[in-house]
Structures are given as C-alpha cells and as structure tokens.
Structure 1
Amino acid sequence: MLIRSAESCLVVIDMQERLVPAMQAPARTIRNARTLITAAHELGVPVILTEQYPTGLGTTVPELAKVAAAAEAQILPKMHFSCMEDRGFATAFRATGRRQAVIAGMEAHICVMQTAAEMMEQGFEVFVVTDATSSRTLESEKACLDRLQACGAGIVTTEMVVFEWLGCAGTDAFRALLPLIK
C-alpha cells in the first residue's frame, strides 16, 4: 500500500537533547526527520512530536524544535514507552482522523517499536522510516525493524515517504520540496 498525504500523520518520537548524542548516526537521523517535518507541513500532513520524560532527557533538539514550530506541530510530553498508552498523545493522534502513521524517532527498539506495534494492534497502517529512526546499537535497531516488518509495518526511507506523499512531479509542492531530496 502507498503512503498517502491525505491519510497520514507524521509521528516523531523522542528526538531529545540528552538522547540524540547516544544514538547511531544522529546527524542523518535529525536531517531526515527535519525533511519529513518540512514535507509534511508543505503537504498538509499533521505532525506530532513526543518527548519522553523531558525533565530527565531534555526537550526536542533545537534543529527539530524550530522546524516543528514552523510546521505548527504539536510537541507532547509522555512517560509511557508506547505513545498510544499516553492519553494526551492517543487523543491528539486520533483527532487527526488519519489511518496511516509515518513514524520516525528514538529509540527504535523501545518507544518506536512499542508505539508502532500498538498502533497496528489498533488497526492503523504503520510505516517506520529507517533513515530517520535510530537506537544506541545497530543490533537493537535491526531487531526493531525486523520485528515490526514481520508484524506488518512498512519499512521505508525518507525519500519513499516524500515521493509517495507528493504522488507526482511538476507541482508547486514538488518544486518546493525538491531541494530537500536532491
């Protein structure tokens, strides 16, 4: 199935100041999350960011907080590993009315995995963006992606998401987003 901008919500999980430095390929992960947030905003896709225990792990990294503010994204604190277990997030996500969740974030094998699995249990279509998702170790990241793929999640890249959201070339949105994906 294709990822449709009219049916998607972008969920960016726990890309926080004290967490990011410990992750594999943090610069790549942040760059691709920024691209996803920008594309989502351009194409009318709702964006929700989360912060796991921000008192201890800090807030969303400035590079993403800035683009999230420009995209009018919600940034929600949480304590549960699965975002869907947090009432504030679950309410905000369901309020979008979208049936597809495009997920990026940290840590892949904990909060991303639990959120994606629970969303699928609840009947949502889930796509995990590999190049915008990370863990402290490659083994944990791979285990997450393998497990979620076996459960039915789409394992995708940033470019796959952006081009599927766009659907065609030659539009104003395509021209606006092209510099991000060249």
Structure 2
Amino acid sequence: MSTRTVFLLCDLQTKFRSAIYQYNHVVQTTNKMLKIAKLFEISVLATTQNARALGPIDPDVGLPSLGNLHRQTLDKTLFSMSTPEVQQILRDLHTRTVVLMGIESHICILQTAFELKKDFQVYVVADAVSSCNSFEIPIAFDAMRHAGVQVLTSESIGFLLMRDASLPAFKELARIIKESKESTKAAGEALFPKSSM
C-alpha cells in the first residue's frame, strides 16, 4: 500500500443511526481506522450527504482526535465522494491510494470506488461499511472487486500500512489491534454472518 494514502469517510451521520444495518459496529471500526490513520499520519477527508437536512457527522466518530490530519469535512449532494473539491484535495496531497469507509455500500461507497478507481488504487474497509439492507453489502463488494477495488478488513489494511514488524510503530499498531480485538470480532460476525462476504 502506498505511503501517499488518504482515508475517505463517507456520510457517517447520526441521522442514519437507526436505518443502517449494524451501524454501531461501523462506527467502532471507523474509530479503529482513525487510530491507525493517526499512527501512520494519514490524512482523512470526510463527507456529509446534504448536511442541512441530514445533519453532521456522528459525534461518536473520533475525527477531532486527528487534529490536522482531519483535512476537512465537505458536504455533498452527489452520491459519490468524488466531488471536484475532494478531487482537488487528493491532487494537492499527491494521493496514490484511497481507503473508503462509511455508508451506504451499494450507493455512495460503490459510486465513489468506481469513480476514484480511474485515478487511484482503491481499498474498501469491509468492516467499516454498511447499508440499510444487509443483502446489499456482499453484492456491492462483489461489483467493486470485479472493477479492481480491493475489499479488505480493517486489520488487513493496518498490517498493509505497517509492512514490517521491526519498525518502531509496530508496537502501537499491535496495541490498537489488541484493544479492538473483541469489537473487531463482533463487527465481523454481525456484518458478515456465516461468511456472507
């Protein structure tokens, strides 16, 4: 995975809490990924979908913990996060790889992945993505894989970024993985019962 990576968080707004399948697990995994972003000094861009009607990013999402690594939260009406503003920031950051998290798998995440695949290597964090209807998730992931998008777990992405256990940051990554072990297992079992992925 490229060192010029940006994490993109799509529309994880409180208004969707009651509608999204296993929403709390998505928030927990997102917060794990934000810790990983902080460890590796990875920039994070977030979007909201029509914030005037649907409200801000859920305050349970730890964006404030990132400080300057949280580059911006941009509002959009497009389903895709690939707005002109997001594209410009990605260019300014000399991005090679994007990592997608958020909702919904078959709409905003799918369209973002398809759009960004033209210019970047795209990864989707399987355990940090959901939809209103659970059956939409594996279908969306399958379509993304066929388009050349890598659909991986939060732990896989953390270790791809780490690459070498001899590096100083490995101890902290191991701590993050260990402290989130139970929530990671619960998210996997809830979002993907009987390995539906």
Q: TM-score, normalised by structure 1?
A: 0.90
In 2, Cα distance between the equivalents of 1:167 and 1:22?
37
* Residue from 149, 152, 156 that aligns with 2:145: 149
Which runs of structure 2 are paired with 1:101-116 in the superposition (5 Å)? Answer: 101-116=98-113
1:160 Cα offset (Å): 0.5
After superposition, give the CA deviation of every residue in 1:135-163 in whole Å (9 maximum; x if it has no partner). 01122111210100011000100000111
Is 1:17–2:17 an aligned residue pair?
Answer: no
Q: 2:136 corresponds to which residue?
A: 140
Partner AA of 1:60 in structure 2: I
In 2, Cα distance between the equivalents of 1:98 and 1:12?
15
% same residue: 26
Is 1:166–2:162 an aligned residue pair?
Answer: yes
**SS across alignment from 2:160:** helix
* CA RMSD, 1 decimal: 1.3
Q: Which moved more, 1:154-163 or 1:36-45?
A: 36-45
Does the aligned pair in 2 maintain the 1:106–1:112 contact within 8 Å? yes
Q: 1:179 corresponds to which residue?
A: 175
For these two proteins, the number of residue pairs brought into alignment is 175
1:170 Cα offset (Å): 4.6
* Residue from 41, 50, 55 that aligns with 1:44: 41
Is 1:26–2:23 an aligned residue pair?
Answer: yes
Q: TM-score, normalised by structure 2?
A: 0.84
* Residue from 120, 124, 143 that aligns with 1:124: 120
In 2, Cα distance between the equivalents of 1:177 and 1:20?
29
Unaligned stretches of 5+ in structure 1?
none
Which runs of structure 2 are paired with 1:63-78 in the superposition (5 Å)? Answer: 63-64=60-61, 67-71=62-66, 72=68, 73=70, 74-78=72-76
